[in-house]
Amino acid sequence: MSCSVVWLKDDFRTSYNQAINALIEDENKEKKIIYIYEKRTYLLCEAQQWWLAKSLEIFQKKLENLKISLDVVHENTTKTFKKLISNNSFDRIYWNKSCHANENIIEEDVKKILKENNVFYKEFEANLLNPVGNIKKDDGTPYKVFTHYWKKAEQTYLRNNLRFNDKIYKNYNHNLKKDENIESIYPKKNWYKKFEKYWEP
């Protein structure tokens, strides 16, 4: 099946998002984004559950403008990828590398599964202004003066990000369709309803 996907983590940008930008430019006609929700990660974290569910709803609406679908899966990450690959659900995948050590372990497990099944993948350092260790002096040594370091870092960031397609849509419709897989992430008690009208992700 010719389908390209983005493995969504905690980066809900539709603009200057390297993984989504790669998906948009991908030659495959079918494109989707997959978010894997592991309930155990959010045990006793009702505020985080609310924030996540609300963010996914708004993000899903933005994706409609890009004609990209969002699939929310309630399952263990490695099990999900094994199942998707066995069903021949995609042949290319992109994601933004996490800055969290425990997430990096999962990413390595997923990469192993993808390699074993000859699935093309590409990960991006989109959660950092510049990849760690990339900003050095012309002679290859680290900077010792912050001002010079920042000047080089800023130039490098701007040069690397000018190529992005700016796909942000500010005037999207807040009348969101109900998605059962997203709805089930919300806390069971409706305590969050009191402040929902004052603040949203």
Q: What is the CATH code for 3-196?
A: 3.40.50.620
Q: Give, rounded to a whole angstrom, the gap between the first and last alpha carbons of the chain.
A: 35
Checking if the pLDDT of 174 tops 70, the result is no
The chain-wide mean pLDDT, for the chain, equals: 84
Q: How many CA atoms lie within 13 A of 28 on its CB side?
A: 19
Cα–Cα distance, 12 to 35 (Å, whole number): 11
Q: Which runs of E-coded beta strand occur in the chain? A: 3-8, 30-37, 69-74, 92-96, 120-124
Q: Pick the residue with more confidence: 133 or 177?
A: 133
DSSP letters for 88-133: T--SEEEEEPPSSHHHHHHHHHHHHHHHHTT-EEEEE-TTSSS-TT
Q: Pick the residue with more confidence: 178 or 94?
A: 94
Least confident of 103-107, 158-162, 170-174: 170-174
pTM (predicted TM-score) = 0.75
Q: How confident is the model at residue 162 (pLDDT cuts 50, 70, 90)?
A: low
The residue whose two tokens read 């790669």 is 22
Domain locations in the chain as residue ranges? 3-196
pLDDT score recorded for residue 111: 97
